[in-house]
Amino acid sequence: MLDKQRIQIIKKDFPILNREVNEKKLVYLDNAATTQKPIQVIEAIRKYYEYYNANVHRGVYTLAEEATAAYEESRKEIVDFINANSYEEIIFVRNATEAINLVAYAWGRKFIKEGDKIVVSQMEHHSNLIPWQILSREKKAKLEFIGITEEGKLNEEDFNKIDKKTKLVAITHVSNVLGTINRVEEITKIAHELGALVLVDGAQSVPHMPVDVKKIDCDFLAFSGHKMLGPMGIGVLFAKREILEEMPPFLTGGEMIKNVDFYESTWNDLPWKYEAGTPNVEGAIGLAEAIRYLKNIGMENIRAHEKALVKLALSKLSDIKGLVIYGPKDPEIRGGVISFNLGNIHAHDVASILDQEGVQIRAGHHCAKLVMKKFNVPAMARASFYLYNDEEDIDALYSALNVTKKVFGLD
Ligand code: 7TS
């Protein structure tokens, strides 16, 4: 775990953590939904608007050049962060959802044919499910599922669903509900041996642990800036260069063209071929600043910190009678996410009582209805951690759950 002094310094960087909620100290435990922003990120965005705001890639005047340079520098920060080969492989999008849709629409429309197979898992966020449902229906391709074990891991027996007919395996790196860290390297190896491409949904991994696209060897990686201290409305699609070259554009219009004639046009170089229209410049600048912040602490340290928090939380919460925790027990294979139900109390009621105690958690199906189906529940409550959470936050969660039990008369 990061030491207490370090956490106190980190906490000071997040102005929102000073506020109170319902006259209680704010305990923010919904980091899987979105994270809070440090002053460094807020300042970087403010500086952009106060000092060098302009549209990018088109102006030859100073402000436009400075804005373009900052936007493109931000892209380089991402290349380095996930160990991509070059800036050509990094496409700025709105979020992980848009990144996955880009692949489904641009790559999928061209390369998926009748009778092909797309393999996903039952633990996918809807963002990595619905695009493949639509594509497979449209193309008369077959959608197949890797199931989930009782423990909340991928059912490895289903890996044999990846076969020679499979064109794509789209899989989450870390489950936003169960916290399970999937062995994406191994899955990629299996898929590649059979000639399938692999899309990794990194929305819950890239913010929390070192993620290296060369090591995984995935063909696509999608993630969102707002889940890693960056602003909303900016996300990233990484894709291997040779694949991006073969793919048609997704959105079309300004910025993504090279030559335009009356009836035909040609496409811009990578990565701009996939960035139609005015991009989210402030978002890219804010995300790059967020990455610098994370790198300064160290992704290995962040992972170790969350692992320690999960271990502590699993052990502490285990003495609350009636509390059912979903997902793997082993913190080695679990990210900083703990989903649970308390007796027969609806998850929304649990979250409301916790809110009265200042503890902010999410409740519901977490956009992963197939996980709810597996565990036969309509909803779960979920606490999710990040680098600014500490032992005290877990204590607050623990006490608030005991208050909930009292309110509902559970012993
Ligand atoms: N994939 C995973 C694994 C996610 O957890 C999420 C968001 C997404 C994709 C979509 O990200 P977006 O930024 O495009 O919306 N997950 C959650 C969550 O767990 N609670 O709120 C959003």
Q: Whose CA is nearest to atom 17 of ligand 1?
A: 33
ω into 207 cis (within 30 of 0):
no
Ligand 1 atom, smallest distance to 96 CA: 14
Our mutation pick for probing the ligand 1 site, out of 127, 128, 171, counting the most ligand atoms within 8 A of Cβ, is 127
Our mutation pick for probing the ligand 1 site, out of 29, 154, 176, counting the most ligand atoms within 8 A of Cβ, is 176
pLDDT at residue 147 tops 80 = yes
pLDDT-based confidence at 58, cuts 50/70/90? confident
Cα 159 to averaged position of ligand 1 atoms, centre (Å) = 24
pLDDT-based confidence at 1, cuts 50/70/90? confident
pLDDT at residue 411 tops 80 = no
Cα 259 to averaged position of ligand 1 atoms, centre (Å) = 37
Ligand 1 atom, smallest distance to 382 CA: 19
The percent helix, strand, coil of the chain (3-state, each to 5) is 45, 20, 35
**Residue holding tokens 């848009």?**
98
139-172 CB burial, b ≥16 within 10 A, e <16: bebebbbbbbeeebbbbeebbebbeebbbbbbbb
Work out the mean pLDDT of the chain and round it to a whole number.
97
Residue 213, amino acid: V
Q: Whose CA is nearest to atom 21 of ligand 1?
A: 33
CB 368 within 8 A of CB 177: yes
Cα 58 to averaged position of ligand 1 atoms, centre (Å) = 33
**Mean pLDDT computed over 4-30:** 96
Ligand 1 atom, smallest distance to 368 CA: 19
pLDDT per position as a tens digit, 220-266: 999 999 999 999 999 999 999 999 999 999 999 999 999 999 999 99
Which residues' Cβ are closer than 6 Å to ligand 1? 32-33, 95-97, 125, 127-128, 172, 176, 201, 203-204, 224, 362, 366-367
Our mutation pick for probing the ligand 1 site, out of 95, 184, 204, 370, counting the most ligand atoms within 8 A of Cβ, is 204
**Mean pLDDT computed over 317-333:** 97
Our mutation pick for probing the ligand 1 site, out of 97, 223, 236, 367, counting the most ligand atoms within 8 A of Cβ, is 367
Ligand 1 atom, smallest distance to 175 CA: 3
pLDDT per position as a tens digit, 366-398: 999 999 999 999 999 999 999 999 999 999 999
> Which domains occur in the chain, in start order?
4-30+298-407 (3.90.1150.10), 42-295 (3.40.640.10)
Cα 260 to averaged position of ligand 1 atoms, centre (Å) = 37
Q: Whose CA is nearest to atom 15 of ligand 1?
A: 97
Q: Whose CA is nearest to atom 11 of ligand 1?
A: 96
Distances (CA, A) of 137 to 79, 113, 131, 133, 364: 34, 11, 10, 6, 28
Cα 44 to averaged position of ligand 1 atoms, centre (Å) = 25
pTM surpassing 0.95? yes
pLDDT at residue 59 tops 90 = no
Cα 34 to averaged position of ligand 1 atoms, centre (Å) = 8
Nearest residue to 229 (alpha-carbon basis) of 209, 211, 207: 207
**Contacting residues for 341 by C-beta, under 8 A, at least 6 apart:** 323, 324, 347, 350, 377, 379, 380, 381
**Contacting residues for 47 by C-beta, under 8 A, at least 6 apart:** none
The yes-or-no answer on residue 218 being catalytic is: no
Proportion of the chain above pLDDT 90, given as a percent: 98
Cα 33 to averaged position of ligand 1 atoms, centre (Å) = 6
Residues belonging to the chain: 411
Q: Whose CA is nearest to atom 20 of ligand 1?
A: 33
The residue from 232, 297, 367, 377 that is catalytic is: 367
Mapped onto helix, strand or coil, the DSSP state of residue 32 is: coil
Cα 125 to averaged position of ligand 1 atoms, centre (Å) = 7
pLDDT per position as a tens digit, 94-116: 999 999 999 999 999 999 999 99
pLDDT-based confidence at 2, cuts 50/70/90? confident
